[in-house]
Amino acid sequence: MMRETLKIFILTVIMACSAGLTKAQVKKEAKPKELLNKKANGFKGIWYMIQPTGNEYAYKYSGGLGTYPANHRPFAIYAEEVNKTFFCYGGTDDKNSTLLHSISYYDHASKKVANPTIVLDKKTVDAHDNPVISIDSLGYIWMFSTSHGVERPSYISKSVKPYDISKFELVNATEDVKGVATPFTNFSYFQVYYEKGKGFLALFSRYDENARRVIGFNTSKDGQKWDKWKVIGNIEGGHYQVSAKVGGKIAVAFDYHPDGKGLDYRTNLYYLESSDWGKSWQTMDGKNPKLPLTERENIALVKDFTSLKLNNYLLDVNLDADGKPLI
């Protein structure tokens, strides 16, 4: 009798543990086991709105936002080898009920666009989760599926064949966190650049425990194994950044949120650039700041809008023929 009771007890414990493991695995495996990789029926971009105003404008902003926001880049890349411009966007279904990360290309020879491939369902209607694109030196197309905050996971996927959008596969990417290879599954406002022999450099935001946007960057030789996250700015309420790569130089412009003012209050203009793939950063006048920047007054400050009581909304940055920034 005791032996039977013991058997039942052990079996109950094993079943309970198995159930617990299954629940934990389900929670951990929030990523889709398979990508959709299905053909769309033409182009349907996501429509999105944010913050009802209660007046004739209805929302703070709204509309067709399939290639949104300005802090995501690039959405399109020209591949000279095949004379095609590959592009990604946030698509949707007939009911605008979910965000479908989609990819297509424009063939400059035929002057036609390809019917898009729907790579994955992001399971949100938040256009802040829109994807960005990259192409490596072998012609493989990369899609980085971003997340707005920490509630949803981010994904990295790669084309199975070079310069081909018919099928993608998930990349089980990791990043170095205190010397430990940790799943690289959360990034916001992603801006990614590729250079042959160096790999990827991505500027992006991370949300801290107070939902502040901390800006920084990371690098990877192969897109799968990423280095340590390096913080650029962590001033008061956080930042938005925009960036560009021209030749061997990467330019970054950013603002900051004063403490207690809210996200719509964005002010000041800061600028940094790097010519050695993020190993060092310089200001507009060639000075070397100590990163991360944590004080409002610092050597990267280009324009003090705070004292003028003015907001500053950043949309774009580029470099002219002499390598000087246009913001």
Tell me: do 141 and 46 sit in the same domain.
yes
| 105 within 8 A of 85, measured Cβ to Cβ | yes
Does residue 110 fall inside a structural domain?
yes
Same domain, residue pair 159 and 199: no
- Co-location of 85 and 223 in the same domain: no
Give the number of other Cβ atoms within 10 Å of residue 222's Cβ. Answer: 11
pLDDT for the residue 251: 99
Q: Do residue 213 and residue 166 come from a single domain?
A: no
Last residue of a domain, one of 121, 155, 171: 171
Check residue 33 and give its pLDDT. 58
Any domain includes 65: yes
State the 10-residue block means of pLDDT for the chain, 327 residues long: 37 36 37 83 97 95 97 98 99 98 99 99 98 99 97 97 99 98 98 98 94 96 99 97 98 97 94 98 98 98 97 97 96
* pLDDT for residue 295: 98
- In this structure, is residue 23 part of a structural domain? no
Do 37 and 131 fall within a single domain? yes
Residues 268 and 250 both lie in one domain: yes
Q: Are residues 91 and 224 in the same domain?
A: no
Query: Domain range for residue 141?
Result: 33-171
80: in domain: yes
Residue-level pLDDT at 2: 36
Residues 133 and 227 in one domain: no
Is pTM beyond 0.75? Reply is: yes
Is 283 contained in some domain?
yes
Same domain, 324 and 201: yes
The total domain count for the chain is: 2
Residue finishing a domain among 138, 171, 204: 171
Same domain, 68 and 125: yes
Nearest-angstrom CA–CA distance, 70 and 50 = 15
* 317 φ/ψ angles, rounded to the nearest 5 degrees: -145, 145
Is 40 in the same domain as 136?
A: yes
Instruction: Check whether residue 84 and residue 167 sit in a common domain.
Output: yes
Whether residue 11 is contained in a domain is answered as no
d(CA 144, CA 157): 7
Residue 18 lies in a domain: no
8 belongs to a structural domain: no
Write down which residue in 145, 171, 197 finishes a domain. 171
HEC string of the chain equals: CHHHHHHHHHHHHHHHHHHHHHHHHHHHCCCCCCCCCEECCCCCECEEEEEECCCCCCEEEEEECCCCCCCCECCEEEECCCCEEEEEEEECCCCCCCCEEEEEEEECCCCEECCCEEEEECCCCCHHHCEEEEECCCCCEEEEECCCCCCCCCEEEEECCCCCCCCEEECCCEEEECCEEEECCCCEEEEEEEECCCEEEEEEEEECCCCCEEEEEEEECCCCEEEECEEEECCCCECCEEEEEECCEEEEEEEECCCCCCCCCCEEEEEEEECCCCCCCECCCCCCCCCCECCCCCCCEEECCCCCCCCCCCCCCEECCCCCEEC
